[in-house]
Each structure stands twice: as C-alpha cells, then as structure tokens.
Amino acid sequence: MSEEMRVDVTREGDTVVVAPVGEVDLSRSPRLRSVLREAQASRPKRVVIDLSEVEYMDSSGVATLVEAFQVARRNGSKMVLCGLMDRVKSIFEIARLDTIFTITANREAALRS
C-alpha cells in the first residue's frame, strides 16, 4: 500500500555510496537491507552509508547496519557511516555502537577516510 523508501546508490571508483532517504524503521529497513546486500555483493573496497537524509532510525535500521558491517568485515572492505542527524546519532549512542562504527561528518570526509 505504501511507497517504497528511496535509496540512492552511486559508485565512485572502488567505493559504493548508499544513501537512504526518509525514516528507516521496521517498515523500511528490509528495503535498505536488500539494497546493501546488492551493493556489497561486488565486494567494493569501501562502502559509505550516507545518512544525511535519514530523519529517523530505530533498532531495525541499526541492526541492518550492524549486519552490513559484519559482511564488510568478512569481505575485507571498509565501511563508513556519515551525515548522521543528532536524533540518529542518539540511537547509536544508546546502543553503544558509536565507537564501533567509523562515523564521519559528511560524505566528502567519508570518501577521504
């Protein structure tokens, strides 16, 4: 009944940038998960997840990112999160995951990392 969440995927050299748009909750995280799986299938050197257009995230979104993080580690690729709004950053802090992920302020910094 509802529209699918928009998730923009762009490739820049060895890097793939995945940018979901909107609210990543239980109704939307399955879509983010399948886009991430596809993006990671080619084993890119670096996966940047740009959250600058994500206004809300719950634990289903966080779980999706933890899963992608584990895939990246298995693949030997680097994963970076960027552009987190305060309320999104807050859930990573509550989950004590803010020190596990590499987090940069914006996409440019993530691409340089």
The verdict on 21 binding other proteins (CB under 8 A) reads: yes
Residue among 52, 78, 89, 91 that touches other proteins (CB under 8 A): 91
Which residue's CB is nearer to other proteins, number 15 or number 52? 52
Residue list 29-58, contact with other proteins (CB under 8 A) = 56, 58
CA-CA distance, 8 to 5, in Å (whole number)? 10
Closest distance of CB 109 from other proteins, Å: 24
CA-CA distance, 72 to 79, in Å (whole number)? 6
The verdict on 24 binding other proteins (CB under 8 A) reads: no
CA-to-CA dists, residue 82 to 1, 2, 4, 62, 113, angstroms: 31, 27, 23, 14, 11
Residue among 64, 80, 81, 84 that touches other proteins (CB under 8 A): 64
